[in-house]
Structure 1
Amino acid sequence: MTHTEIFDRHVEEYEKWYEDYSEVYHSELAAIREQLLKLPENIRGIEVGLGTGRFALPLGIKEGVEPSRSMAEKAINRGIEVIEVLAERLPYGDLQFDFVLFVTVCHLASLKNALAEAHRVLKHEGSVLIGFLDKDRSIAQQYIEKRHRSTFFAKANFYTVDRIQTLLKEAGFKNLEFNQTLFGDLDEIEEIQIPKPGFGEGSFLVVKATKK
């Protein structure tokens, strides 16, 4: 079963996670929002792999792509303009956007190809933002250990900070800036956490990089 088929079949389970782990979700949102606030105002951006719109909607992102039809329908019902395509084949012309957001890139077939597409559609000096679970930290390690009985993470590809840095630089990005959140194991997080700069402590990182 492909990633897309998994999300098509389990969209309600996906939605329930955000209710069960509300503090985790809002901590991730806070970290992404902090990086977005560093960008100029009144700019146009997309989210790639936007799921049901759980991040795009509160972050004010009005459009993006999502290959799962069931997930896309939820996002459309939330008022987001969605095109049902893969991250590796964005249906946009060159130099269209000021920023591109990815969240949980572990589900992409090829992050390398997705970043090449993001670079193509970004304007000069545009920004890419990536939210991801650090493979070296506790939450990703928990998912890896339990992947054989996980609905969503059985085929996930987790990334280290070093690997993300390498892929971004190879894709033509510069000026990497990290922040981090989710300090502690998943079930221990009972309040919304304030993100910290850098990496090495939190399980969820957001990196912002600029197109050369």
Structure 2
Amino acid sequence: MSIDEPFESYATQYDAWYDSERGKILYENEKKCLKKLINDCNGKVLEVGVGTGRFAVLAEEAFGVDVAEAPLRIAKLRGIRVIKAKAEELPFRDKVFSCVMLIVTLCFVKDPLLALKEAKRVLKEEGKVIIGDVFLDSEWGKLYAQKKKEGHLFYKLANFYSFENFKKIVSLVGLKIKRVFGTLKKSPFDEPSPEESEAIADDISSYGFVCVELTK
């Protein structure tokens, strides 16, 4: 199965999760975490793996790419300028974006190293890459990895990383970690509730959703 197939066939159902009783709370927590890093992004913002645009809408001037057309149609309705493209082959000139975001995207791309190299290429010198993801270090990451083994519709196509492995990839690309924030401290088996995101100095294992700011 290709990586885009379930997102192509189930785009509407995927997007509807964000409006579910549980999804709304988790989504708001994740947005608050992401805003810690995106609020000072001035200029054009690109989200790689934009999906239905639920996170790109936080940017004033948002662009998005994805390999699946169905979610792109939904993102377009949210006012995002979209192009069908792979993370590893971005159809943009060098140094055009103030910020490049990959929100729960790196785990789905075939070549995360190349995807980050492309993000770096299209990034302005003083710009930043924002990663929002679920890492294997956390209880959430372990749950998603288990769902992958069980053949979950979406997660069976993902490859989840430990934060240590993620840092190695970042280093190989020549990017630097500047700031890290986390949220979703509650267990994925508990009822979610509103949370404030927190700055993380070292250990990210207590946070289900982690946002990382990378610079050149």
TM-score by length of 2: 0.91
Q: Which runs of 4+ in 1 moved over 4 A?
A: none
Q: 1:190 deviation in Å? A: 2.7
1:208 maps onto 2:213 in alignment: yes
In structure 2, the gaps of 5 or more residues are none
Distance 1:159 1:60 in 2: 30
User: Mapping of 1:1-212 within 5 angstroms?
Assistant: 1-20=1-20, 21-37=23-39, 39=40, 42-104=42-104, 105-147=106-148, 148-198=150-200, 199-211=204-216
With 162-171 and 185-194 compared, the bigger mean Cα shift is at 185-194
Q: Is the 8 A contact 1:24 1:186 kept in 2?
A: no
Distance 1:56 1:204 in 2: 17
Q: Is the 8 A contact 1:32 1:206 kept in 2?
A: yes
Q: Is the 8 A contact 2:43 2:61 kept in 1?
A: no
With 13-22 and 55-64 compared, the bigger mean Cα shift is at 55-64
Distance 2:55 2:61 in 1: 8
Q: What secondary structure does 2:4 align onto?
A: helix
Distance 1:107 1:61 in 2: 25
TM-score by length of 1: 0.93
- CA-based RMSD of the aligned residues comes to 1.5
Distance 1:59 1:33 in 2: 9
Distance 1:176 1:63 in 2: 24
Q: What secondary structure does 2:157 align onto?
A: coil
Q: 1:32 deviation in Å? A: 0.6
Distance 1:61 1:190 in 2: 31
Distance 1:145 1:82 in 2: 33
Q: Is the 8 A contact 2:45 2:59 kept in 1?
A: no
Distance 1:69 1:187 in 2: 33
Q: Which amino acid aligns with 2:76?
A: I
Q: Which amino acid aligns with 1:63?
A: F
Distance 2:61 2:2 in 1: 27
Q: Is the 8 A contact 1:65 1:82 kept in 2?
A: yes
Q: 1:69 deviation in Å? A: 0.5
